[in-house]
Amino acid sequence: MRFAGNVIWFVLGGWYIALIWLLGAAVFALSIVGIPLTIAALQMASLSAWPFGREVVHIRDLDGKSVSATTAVTGTIGFIVNVVWACTFGWVLFLAYLLGGVLCCLTLIGIPFGLQAFKLAGISFWPVGRRVVTAELATLARQEAAKEKFAKYRGVAA
């Protein structure tokens, strides 16, 4: 089912929105400051072309690092770069996904595609600090992060 969904998605416009991500990646690759955004945009272009069976997870859910001086600095830089992205390509991608999602949801068969478009619309504003992984790995990473948070609430060392 994932393969069929990905093929239909790609043929009916996934390639087009992936090109917008690639254009954004190329523009931001011209500067050293934009390299983190370039990497994120390339991953999101891949997700935009083939979204079924893959999800986006925050990097801290994958690496398990807690707040430190390094993660605070990288998080601040990521925040600034995400604001620049949202003001340039982010809103264009958001509107494209939103329009595509509404059009897909007009038919019963298109609802799964519309839901994918809405998922991608939310990600389009804030891509830095996110990683594209399989749906199974995303579920596992979220469960592990939830276990750690639950242990903190109980006062148990994780």
**In whole angstroms, how large is the CA radius of gyration of the chain?**
17
Of the candidate ranges 72-81, 83-92, 104-113, the one whose mean pLDDT is the lowest? 72-81
Report, as an integer, the average pLDDT of 42-60.
90
- pLDDT at 92 > cutoff 70: yes
Report, as an integer, the average pLDDT of 10-20.
88
What pLDDT score was predicted for residue 111?
Answer: 93
Reference 46, options 1, 15, 85, 91; nearest CA is 15
- DSSP 3-state of 126: coil
- pLDDT at 64 > cutoff 80: no
Q: What are phi and psi of 57, to 5 degrees?
A: -130, 145
Of the candidate ranges 62-71, 81-90, 94-103, the one whose mean pLDDT is the lowest? 62-71
Q: Which pTM value belongs to this model?
A: 0.79
Report, as an integer, the average pLDDT of 94-98.
92
Average pLDDT, the chain: 87
Q: With 0-12 CB in 10 A as exposed, 13-18 as middle and 19+ as buried, what is 58?
A: middle
- DSSP 3-state of 137: helix
Reference 20, options 90, 73, 67, 105; nearest CA is 90
What pLDDT score was predicted for residue 152?
Answer: 84
- pLDDT at 99 > cutoff 90: yes
Residue for token digits 């639950």? 150
C-alpha torsion angle, residues 125, 23, 137, 14 (rounded to 10): 90
What DSSP designation does 105 have? Answer: T
In contact, 100 and 117? CB cutoff 8 Å: yes
What pLDDT score was predicted for residue 106?
Answer: 94
Structure tokens at 67: 């707040």
CA distance 134 to 36: 21
Reference 47, options 9, 99, 81; nearest CA is 9
Structure tokens at 47: 């997700």
